[in-house]
Amino acid sequence: MSPALPRPLDRRVVITALGIGQILAWGTSFYFPAVFAEPIVKETGWSLGTVVAGTSLGLLVAGLISPQVGRIIDKRGGRPVLLASSIFYAAGLAGIGAAPALPVYLAAWALIGLGMGTGLYDAVFAALGRMYGSEARTPITNLTLFGGFASTVCWPLSAFMIEHAGWRAACFVYAGLHLFLVLPLQMAVVRAAPRTGAASASEQHDAKQASPIHNETLIFALLAAVLSIAAGIGSIVVVHLLIFLQARGLDFAVAVSLGTLFGPSQVGARVIERLFGSHYHPVWTMIASCALMAVGLLMLYGAVPALLIVILLYGAGYGISWIGRGTLPLALFGPIRFPRLMGKLAFPSLIIQALAPSAGALLIESRGVDTTIGVLTLLALINVALISALWWLCRKPSIDG
């Protein structure tokens, strides 16, 4: 008689635990420089460019390891990867907090990059695909709702800790949270994948349901291009948003106030997608994302005075792009290959995210803000064309309807 399988955990418990991890993961990596950069520069004397470059280094490392991460999740499930992520984050943040010199600081960012590659959306989406198969769309969408609050939670928390204890102590506190909060949560909700060679009943069902698609190589290339361009545009806009708003006539205080709506607009759009997304194919989520980002940038380039609408439209498009990033590959290629494909898709996307902010800064310095916004608008329009071509190649009754 075979041993009884453990009872599956409530998905709400799983997503809540992983969501807490996402808030801290994004807040202590991608959103880290917004609050930490200035006090680090002030104390150490390192240049702002080199301090911020730590994040780019982390994203570069994350991109380089992403294909291997996808293969590991495919073979062993998400548990070893997500647990390793917490350890990498803790070690990297402790290294930043203790860094006596710039090389140590950058080496610590390389560790955080390992944490990013094993613990941000791409890896967790792949883990959810491994856990829930073709039913992973809703868990993926719900997880992004948590991730959307990373800046909302971590920016004020970081500012409070820096003001009262200093930036080094704040890094140690975050390291402790990864080690003693996130790690136990992920250990509790992400169980080891079955080691038997036989496929589970759900995997067998997913394999039977999966059907080959025509032009698969071209479809994959188009999807990788769409996701990478969206991520690159998003990375530049997030870093340089205040500069763009000030160039449209806002003073710094008003630009900051308006910029705070960027996060809520992302979350609001994700809530709408969560409520209605099950009624249509995920390709429409990505089409809406590309269109909204393009319209927002067109309005910004045209110096339309309604900057509030610009923020809301662009933020909504960028917010749901992360849902499409997880759900569209799952729908197109099926859950069996999903973990490996997520790793391959993350590779160019994360590398472009790493390089884009510096490229944007160089473009602003050499050609000015208007030209930079114009280039971003052109790229956004190209992305609309690419996602339209992807829809045309993949169109089926379930997509057209």
Pick the range with the lowest mean pLDDT from 4-18, 85-99, 140-154, 278-292: 4-18
Instruction: With a cut of 90, say whether residue 207 has pLDDT above it.
Output: no
Pick from 129, 139, 280, 101: which is nearest to 206 by CA? 129
- Calculate the average pLDDT of the chain: 87
Q: What is the pLDDT of residue 191?
A: 80
**How many CA atoms are closer than 13 Å to the CA of 280, on its beta-carbon side?**
17
State the Cα–Cα distance between residues 221 and 390, nearest whole angstrom: 10
Question: Which is more confident, 109 or 203?
Answer: 109
Q: Indicate whether 48 pLDDT > 60.
A: yes
Rounded CA-CA distance 101/196 in Å is 48
Range 108-128 average pLDDT: 94
- Kindly tell me if the per-residue pLDDT of 208 is higher than 50: no
* Confidence at residue 198, expressed as pLDDT on a 0 to 100 scale: 43
Q: What is the mean pLDDT of residues 150-163?
A: 88
Report the pLDDT value the prediction gives residue 333, as an integer from 0 to 100: 87
Give the pLDDT confidence score for residue 49 in this predicted structure: 81
pLDDT-derived band at 385, boundaries 50, 70, 90: very high
Two structure tokens written together for 90: 């803790």
CATH number for the domain whose boundaries are 212-400: 1.20.1250.20
pLDDT of amino acid 40 = 93
**What distances in angstroms separate CA 358 from CA 95, 226, 289, 350, one per listed residue?**
24, 21, 24, 14
pLDDT at 213 over 70: no
Q: What number of other Cβ atoms are within 10 A of residue 298's Cβ? A: 18
For 243-270, what is each residue's pLDDT tens digit? 888 888 888 788 877 877 888 898 899 9
Query: Is the pTM above the cut of 0.75?
Result: yes
User: What confidence score (pLDDT) does residue 261 get?
Assistant: 82
Q: Is the pLDDT of residue 13 over 60?
A: yes
Q: Say yes or no: domain 11-192 is CATH 1.20.1250.20.
A: yes
Q: What is the 3-state secondary structure (H, E, C) of the chain?
A: CCCCCCCCCCHHHHHHHHHHHHHHHHHCCCCHHHHHHHHHHHHHCCCHHHHHHHHHHHHHHHHHHHHHHHHHHHHHCCHHHHHHHHHHHHHHHHHHHHCCCHHHHHHHHHHHHHHHHHHCHHHHHHHHHHHHHHHCHHHHHHHHHHHCCHHHHHHHHHHHHHHHHCHHHHHHHHHHHHHHHHHHHHHHHCCCCCCCCCCCHHHHHHHHHCCCCCCHHHHHHHHHHHHHHHHHHHHHHHHHHHHHHHHCCCCHHHHHHHHCCHHHHHHHHHHHHHHHHHHCCHHHHHHHHHHHHHHHHHHHHCCCCCHHHHHHHHHHHHHHHHHHHHHHHHHHHCCCCHHHHHHHHHHHHHHHHHHHHHHHHHHHHHHCHHHHHHHHHHHHHHHHHHHHHHHHHHCCHHHHC
Q: Are 62 and 192 in contact (CB under 8 A)?
A: no
Q: Is 38 exposed, middle or buried (0-12, 13-18, 19+ CB in 10 A)?
A: middle
pLDDT at 399: 60
- For 316-338, what is each residue's pLDDT tens digit? 999 999 999 889 998 888 888 88
pLDDT of residue 80: 93
Phi, psi (degrees; rounded to nearest 5) at 361: -65, -45
Distance CA 330, CA 334 (A): 5
Q: Which tops the pLDDT comparison, 374 or 202?
A: 374
* Whether the predicted pLDDT of 4 surpasses 50: no
Nearest to 289 by CA among 259, 257, 328: 328
Per-residue pLDDT, 1? 41
Q: Which pair of structure tokens corresponds to residue 63?
A: 């991109």
Listed residue (171, 62, 77) closest to 122, CA to CA: 62
Length of the chain: 401
Q: Where in the chain is the domain with CATH 1.20.1250.20?
A: 11-192, 212-400
The residue among 112, 138, 127, 123 whose CA lies nearest residue 56 is 112
- Over residues 12-28, the mean pLDDT reads 94
Q: What is the pLDDT of residue 360?
A: 86
Q: What is the CA radius of gyration of the chain?
A: 21
